[in-house]
Amino acid sequence: MAKKFIITWDQMHSYCRELAEKQMPAEQWKGIWAVSRGGLVPGAILARELGIRHVDTVCISSYDHDHQRDMTVVKAPEGDGEGYLIVEDLVDSGDTARKLREMYPKAKLIAVCAKPAGVELLDDYVVDIAQETWIEQPWDMSIQYVEPINRKQK
């Protein structure tokens, strides 16, 4: 993937607030199931914005930073998902979303960002991303000092 889309902490917070607004009224939700690990931060922000205290995780492993591998369900709440929001940071190929739909047919599946290959599997999202673009999430980056250009040339 040649293109990159960098999401800052401020942008993530703003996107999550926008996503939370779409989930109102909050009283309709029993809780949030955040997909570990990408959905953890968005799940926490949505829980705060919606006033939801019941937060759990669905742990599905399919990526190691930028390498996709076989999908493994590590932890899964019981039930069909009725009354729950399942939160992801990104739906890419749709493989994880497909698995979540199979596991929790009555849950509402939402994500901050969506790529075309997986967008149809979502009930809600806020940011469209081109399929060939790699997303850098704020929790995967650090801010560091960069030497001014004029000093590098000396």
Flag whether 39 is marked binding.
no
Predicted pLDDT of residue 1: 52
Predicted pLDDT of residue 54: 98
Q: What is the mean pLDDT of each run of 10 residues along the chain (154 residues)?
A: 89 99 98 97 98 97 65 94 98 96 98 98 98 94 85 68
Whole-angstrom CA distances from 122 to 1, 41, 87, 125 are 23, 18, 10, 7
> Among candidates 59, 52, 115, which has minimal Cα distance to 84?
52
Flag whether 93 is marked binding.
yes
Predicted pLDDT of residue 103: 97
CA 18 to chain centre: 14
Flag whether 70 is marked binding.
no
**CB contact burial 85-102 (16+ within 10 A = b; e otherwise):** bbbbbbbbebbbbebbbe
Whole-number Å distance between alpha carbons of 154 and 140: 32
Flag whether 134 is marked binding.
yes
Q: In the numeric block, which tokens belong to residue 145?
A: 């000092």
Q: Specify whether the CB–CB gap between 58 and 34 falls below 8 A.
A: yes
95: enclosing H helix or E strand = helix 95-103
3-152: CATH, from 3.40.50.2300, 1.20.120.1730, 3.30.365.10, 3.40.50.2020: 3.40.50.2020
- 68 forms beta bridges with 63
Flag whether 64 is marked binding.
no
Flag whether 98 is marked binding.
no
Flag whether 124 is marked binding.
no
Whole-angstrom CA distances from 49 to 25, 32, 38, 137, 141 are 11, 12, 18, 20, 25
